[in-house]
Structure formats: C-alpha cells, structure tokens
Structure 1
Amino acid sequence: MYEKFIVNRSNWALDDWLNWQENLNPNQIDLSLDRIKEVKEKIRFNQPEIDIYLVAGTNGKGTTVHLLNSILCLKGLNVGTYTSPHLKKYNERVTYNNKPLEDTDFIDSFIEIENVRGDVPLTYFEYGTLAAFLSLNRFSCDAWIIEVGLGGRLDATNILNPNVSIITNIALDHQEWLGNTVNEIASEKAGIISSNAPCVCGALNTGEIIGEIANRENTDFYLIGDDFSLSNGVNGSVWSSKSKTIEKIRIPNHWAQGEKNNLAIALMSIEACNSDLLPNTEALNQLLGSFSIPGRFQIFDYRIPWILDVAHNPNAAINLRERLGTIELTDKNIMIVSLMKDKDLEEFVSLFEDIVAKWVVCTMNTPRSLSGDEISKRLSEKGLFDVTVLNDPDEAFEYIETINHNYNAVIVTGSFEIVGPCIHWHENKK
C-alpha cells in the first residue's frame, strides 16, 4: 500500500494535496467525530503531555488565540497554534513560535495520514486538523493553542483533552448546524469542556447553561464578570480574578469591548492553567503596544485608508462598528462587502448604514458565497440604492481605484474570503 501510494502522489505539491482533500468527502461541513477518531486510532496519535488550550466561541476565537500565543511566547515558552480559516496561505493555520509551518511539514503529515486512512472519507477540515496535530507533535512545544472550527462537541479539534477549555462568547451563527437559539448553540460549544480541566467562559448570556455543563464534568468554571474582569482604573485598566490582579493596563486605542473581553479571557485561562505564566504590567503593556492581527481592523493607507476586518456575522459587525467609532470617520465611506449564504445580510449591513455612502458587492470564490446580484437585490429592498456589483473581489478592489477620490475611507468586510484577497491585492500594489 505504501509503495503504491508513493508512486501515485510522491510529486504532489501542497496545493495538489489540498485540492484533492476538498473532494474526498462530498460534504464541506459534516460534523462528526467518528471519521477522525477512526483515523487517529489507526495512526496511533497520542496528544503530547503539555498544556493545551482549546478555544471555542462564536466570535473572538482568533484574537484570543493570538493573545494567548503572544503572552506565552513572551514568557519564553515554545508554542504551537492551530487556527482556521487562513487569509492568504494555508500554512498560516499552523505556527510554531509565530512562524508558519513549511509545505513539507504538512505534506509529511498528509502522507502519514494517507498511509493508514483507507476508505475513511475525512472532510477537508478533519484532514487538516489531524495533519496539524501530527505536524506540531514533531516540534518541542511547551503549549498548544487550538481554535475550534465549528461548534465544539462534534468539531474535529475535540479529539483532544485540553488542560483549559475556553468559550469566548455565544451568539446566533451557523444555526443550520448548531441550533436556532443561543442556548442550543451554547450547549454545542460547551461540548469541548473536558472532565477535571477548568473552563473559562466569556459568554455572560449563556453562562448559566455552560456552567451547568462544566459542573456535570466536575470541572472548575470561571465566568467573566463573576470570577474575573477587565475594568477601568485610575491609571489604565485593571484585570482581576479572585486571586490575581494586573493594574495600569494600557488598552490599544482602537479596541472595542470584544477585544477587551478576549484579553480578560486569555489572562484568566493562563491563570487557570499556570498562574506563574501571567505577565506583569510592564510586559503586558509592551505586548499590547505592538499587538496586531492580520485581517482584524487592519489598515492600509493607499490613497485613502482601507480598513479590513473579517467580521462575518451580526455579532462581529457590532464589534467592528464600535471599533470604527474610535477613529474619525465621516458618513462618506465605501464598503466592499460579501457574506456567506447562511449569514444575516440585512442585520449585518444595517450596522453601517450611517457611515457608508456607497456599497460595492461581489461573489467570493467559494460555493458558500452569496452572489453579488443577490446581495445587491437585498440591499435595494432595504432602500440602499448606491450599489455596484462586480464579478469577484479583485474586480471590486480595482474598481475602487476609479472612484476613491470622492470618499474618505474604504471598509472591506464580511468574510475571510474577501479580506484575504484584499490583503494580497494591497501587497501587490506596494
């Protein structure tokens, strides 16, 4: 079997593997742990005996992962991370000490999986998740920080037994797979809670439900507002838990409440795992002074400011709108927007109507994307008529160059699938 496999795929590049994986399972989303557990057992994967942080939630997962990673690296730990989706290159999904893995790291893991997979139809995400864990296992990590893909209970990342389970927040999203109420969604996401491992929760609206699940799992439960908080102090912000305090924290100027909550959650998670790793005020402020994440309120100055943010549901849009309020914006801005079919387009755009004078819409390069024509039709039904439809993101970006002298800023949002191409477009313009 191994020799036959090598003959068939020995010269495959990373993109060849990824394209092939997309067609291995006909369902792009097929929530189940059965397939990945079966292959995990065949490959004899054992998770390392290190600290593992597993991060779920509707929004803020990526920011929480980046904050945890930055703090732990600052303390001198060797840290592996796994996040999804990626903005520009697949390699971004797995990092070791802030460096994306090489193509060969992934390919070696893909070969290892394929040699035992048999006819198990792993999804694209399941294949990538198992490969990420195999790849990180080859490095001398002190900690892993793993972002849940979708939900929690049946997500591929839930084959791990974390040292800390983290739930950032709960809002309506992915109802087709997770349930139609925040309580149902909370129950699905709380499926990552592991017996005897603490759970840190930033979801006040469903804290009681998640706390009950944590209690059934016999684990310590820390809820934002009750057990820890980030509040305004005399000389900056103050993070505090029942036993620790960090004062005089300088919060970045363009942060909204979401980012503040993510910081509070990250610090509580570190305390719950190993309080000796909490940073002092000086170290934390140094970190926050240069903290940024690609695609999260990322600003390019190209003739006029371009503000890029991967907000992709109404809850994230609320946070983006708050962040936009921290800078001087008039009501004469352009928004390039496209969303997935399962998102609430009308509620999303309603949050920006007061600052957007022109809408530019397009179809993203994914079958899950709303079409530009459909977005335009629905915006018109809302009474928003200054809408231009382009075929794809690149056409939308190029179109802006012909009209941007009439506007103050360009806001690009709605999905990783439009922000990622925009970052690539800007980098090519340099």
Structure 2
Amino acid sequence: MQSSDVILERLMALHPKVIDLVLDRVHRLLAALDHPETKLPPVIHIAGTNGKGSTLAMLRAGLEGAGDTCHAYTSPHLARFHERIRLAGELIDESALSDLLEECETANGGAPITYFEITTVAALLAFARARADWTLLEVGLGGRLDATNVVNPALTIITPVSMDHEGFLGDTVEKIAAEKAGILKPGVPCVVGPQEEAALEVIEYRAARLNAPLLIHGQHWHVSEEAGRLIFQDETGLMDLPPPRLIGAHQVQNAGMVIAALRALDRANGAEAAMRQAVWPARMQRLTHGPLVEAAGSSELWLDGGHNPAAGAALAEALGRLPERPTYLVCGMLNTKDATGYMRPLAGRVAHLYGVSIPGEAATLSAAETCAAAISAGLSATEASSVEEAISSISAETPDARILICGSLYLAGRVLQENG
C-alpha cells in the first residue's frame, strides 16, 4: 500500500490550479462513487471568514458532551493531512486514508480535479461509510462554489464575514457575503454570527428567497461575558456558563453561535462541554514544551494562525486581555494576504516584530517584505532567517518577553512540526 503522502502528491498534479471554483468536477466524481453525499449523518455546514474552525471545534465538543458522535471535516491541516478528517471523533488512520484516496483517484480516472475537491470527496466517502450522529463540515473557501457545498444540511452556520480571498470571492463585503450565503438551503435554519450591516442584508435577502429561517446575533440571540462567566440569552431563556476555553473576545461570539446551534439541534445540555472541552490548535495556543519553547527560555511562547485584518484585530484584543509583558511578534505571511491590514491593529500592542519567510511555501512573503508591511502598519521590524533565530534573539534581549508566532496557518503548521 502506498503512503497517503505519496498519493496526495500525485493528486496535486490533476489540475493546473490550486483553486478553481466550480462544482462540476465534484458532482462528476460523487456520481462515479454512487453519491456518498446523500448517505451522510445529518450535516451541519459552516461558512464565514473568521471563526469557522473554532466554532466547529466548540460545536463538536458540545455535541460530544451531549452524548453524540461527530464526523468532522476541516482545512487546512497544520502538521498532517489526517487532521482534516475525523471519523466519530477520531482522526482518520493512515491505512483508511490511503485506501480512500486511491479509491477516489481510480474513480476519477485521471480527469482534471483540484486537490481540495478530490480530498473533500474522499472525506464525504469516509463519512458515508462510518456511523455517527452528526457530520460537521467546514467550508474551504467561500461557500456557493466550495467543494463541500454538495450536501443537504440539517443546519447551517455563517460566522462573521469580512474581507479575505478577494481575488476569488469579490472585492466588497457584500460580494463575499453572497458567496458565503451560498450554503443556505430551502427551509434549513441558519445561525448567523455578528455581521457588518451590509453583509447581513445580503444574507437576509438570500434567506428570504429560500424561506430559510435565520437565528441572528443581536436579534434572536445575545451573548456576553460578565464577571468571568458567559451569558447567553434567546427566547428560550438565559444560560449562565463558564467562559470558552479558547482565548479572545471573538471566542465569546463564536461560543454564542455554538450555543444557538446546540439549542436549535435540541442539544443544549452540551453547552458546558462546548465551553470547557474544545481544543483548536494554533488559535492563541500557548506552547509549553518542545525545542522552540526551550529556545524561548523564560519567555512565554504563543502561536496563532490568523491572517487577515479581522484576525489581526481579534489577536490584538486577545493580547490586551493577557497580563502585561513586553510582546514580540515573529510573523510570516502569504503574499495573497493584506499583511499591513493584518498588522495595523497590533501596532499598539507589541514592542517589535521579527519578519520571517514561511519555509516550503512558494507564495510566502520574504522576511524583508513582511518587515516592510510591518513598518507601513506602524511597527518596528527586523528580518530573521528563521523562527528559531527570531526566538533566540528576543529571549536574549528580553528574557521575560511574550513571543507570539503569527500570520499564517501554514507557518503555524511548520512550527508545530518543528516543535514536536
């Protein structure tokens, strides 16, 4: 049996583009495999710009806390592809993944198909063959033409929509919201997180045309943090819960979407588990062991994969909640992102930024380009040849610093691999 890595590398060559947003190829392959998308446990489909993964992680913890089992599909992975596919709560094993990928490759017959499309089909095939109570699907990009948008969900969720992937989704928040709202289905309820007014109008218009009931933040449900507790209220009543285990005020809003979803699914008894038990790597994650932690010495080491202006604002807010320490960024970003927009909210929170390139990523900004973006955003910046060199420099200059590695999930994945 060939390893999944070998097969995945082969699948990368089936289409000249990494992203090509149409659904024809996915529908063709699903038909060749006898339509696994019609045989899934009830689906909860999640789209949005920021917070999809964290929301899915909390929702999975909540449903499992209520006694249910969940398949889950997320992207991208951080260290290993297997992270994208969970079968009834457990990461898919190597032999099962290799078999599925080979089966999909054979059924595809060498026809053009993108890497994300064929691996999404492999995930749906796995989910259709294994028992679970729920299938949780995170949209890869957009929604309307995303490879996951081939299902008939029981519930949809749209997390906050903001500017990102403009080259594929449109250059206004209204156009992007229209793509995200493409996951709405006739008569299927949708939980809607906090939105800019322009985005919400687009979502409401689409929902009205489909007769899809909406559960909208600020209208149908409210969430806040009060005296160290999370307070959720809707027409059913008030819930007083522990705060989310995941760090940042944006996680309070994500938690609100999760509780609204659990209520809609008649699984509110899982709300406390959703707050206490969710784990989502590289989202304000404190690293506590490994060679990079050793290189940091007495400094704190944190990791975050956010990469757009809204994520930068959320990160700045999260840093403001931590005990005061000199904070340094080690930042690497892709050239498809608004680097200056991402860094601008962080300018008042950090002492200095070290720019690095992302190893093995053709679309990385160079360390010099990252530093130039930082200076444009009002930060002082220094180039570094690697994450480890930057950490060593910071810990030598400021032994009790807070060091945050940030700017890209691809960088975060590399860090988790290097740090063991």
TM-score by structure 2 length? 0.91
Measure how far apart 1:387 and its partner are.
0.8
For the residues of structure 1 that align with 2:100 and 2:254, how far apart are their CA atoms? 32
Distance verdict in 2 for CA 1:383–1:402, change over 3 Å: closer
Amino acid aligned to 1:416: L
For the residues of structure 1 that align with 2:274 and 2:107, how far apart are their CA atoms? 43
Aligned with 1:361 (options 355, 377, 380): 355
For the residues of structure 1 that align with 2:273 and 2:177, how far apart are their CA atoms? 35
2:371, 2:381 within 8 Å by CA — same for their partners in 1?
no
Aligned with 1:230 (options 223, 226, 234): 223
Amino acid aligned to 1:309: D
1:254, 1:327 within 8 Å by CA — same for their partners in 2?
no
Distance verdict in 2 for CA 1:289–1:268, change over 3 Å: closer
Measure how far apart 1:203 and its partner are.
3.9
Amino acid aligned to 1:214: A
Measure how far apart 1:120 and its partner are.
2.3
Please, which moves more after superposition, 379-388 or 343-352? 379-388
Structure 2 counterparts to residues 25-424 of structure 1, below 5 A? 25-46=15-36, 47-48=38-39, 50-205=41-196, 206-232=199-225, 236-242=229-235, 244-252=236-244, 255-272=247-264, 274-275=265-266, 277-279=267-269, 284-285=271-272, 287-301=274-288, 302=293, 303=297, 304-330=299-325, 332-364=326-358, 365-381=360-376, 384-390=379-385, 395-407=386-398, 408-424=401-417
Please list the CA deviations of residues 54-91 of structure 1 after superposition, one character each: whole Å capped at 9, or x if unmatched: 00000000011001100111111121000000111110
Measure how far apart 1:121 and its partner are.
1.1
Measure how far apart 1:253 and its partner are.
7.5
Tell me what 1:15 maps to: 5
Measure how far apart 1:402 and its partner are.
4.3
For the residues of structure 2 that align with 1:260 and 1:403, how far apart are their CA atoms? 32
Gaps in structure 1 of 5+ consecutive residues: 1-10
Distance verdict in 2 for CA 1:171–1:336, change over 3 Å: same
Distance verdict in 2 for CA 1:381–1:60, change over 3 Å: closer
For the residues of structure 1 that align with 2:218 and 2:43, how far apart are their CA atoms? 24
Measure how far apart 1:266 and its partner are.
1.3
1:199, 1:221 within 8 Å by CA — same for their partners in 2?
yes
For the residues of structure 1 that align with 2:373 and 2:78, how far apart are their CA atoms? 27
Tell me what 1:3 maps to: none
For the residues of structure 2 that align with 1:323 and 1:142, how far apart are their CA atoms? 34
Measure how far apart 1:293 and its partner are.
1.6
1:167, 1:203 within 8 Å by CA — same for their partners in 2?
no
Amino acid aligned to 1:298: Q
Please, which moves more after superposition, 225-234 or 65-74? 225-234
Distance verdict in 2 for CA 1:402–1:154, change over 3 Å: same
Amino acid aligned to 1:414: G
Please list the CA deviations of residues 7-62 of structure 1 after superposition, one character each: whole Å capped at 9, or x if unmatched: xxxx4211101111122111011111011111111111232253210000000000
Secondary structure of 2:149's aligned partner: helix
1:83, 1:93 within 8 Å by CA — same for their partners in 2?
yes
Please, which moves more after superposition, 170-179 or 117-126? 117-126
Secondary structure of 1:225's aligned partner: coil
Please, which moves more after superposition, 404-413 or 167-176? 404-413
For the residues of structure 2 that align with 1:340 and 1:294, how far apart are their CA atoms? 20
Measure how far apart 1:348 and its partner are.
1.4
For the residues of structure 1 that align with 2:274 and 2:167, how far apart are their CA atoms? 39
Amino acid aligned to 1:42: A
Identical pairs, percent: 29
Distance verdict in 2 for CA 1:383–1:63, change over 3 Å: closer
TM-score by structure 1 length? 0.89
1:230, 1:237 within 8 Å by CA — same for their partners in 2?
yes
1:397, 1:422 within 8 Å by CA — same for their partners in 2?
no
For the residues of structure 2 that align with 1:253 and 1:130, how far apart are their CA atoms? 32
Amino acid aligned to 2:183: I
Q: Considering only aligned residues, what root-mean-square deviation do their CA atoms show, in Å?
A: 2.0
Measure how far apart 1:423 and its partner are.
2.0
Amino acid aligned to 1:251: P
1:69, 1:79 within 8 Å by CA — same for their partners in 2?
yes
Distance verdict in 2 for CA 1:360–1:75, change over 3 Å: same
For the residues of structure 2 that align with 1:149 and 1:143, how far apart are their CA atoms? 19
Amino acid aligned to 2:239: E
Secondary structure of 2:200's aligned partner: helix
Please, which moves more after superposition, 227-236 or 82-91? 227-236
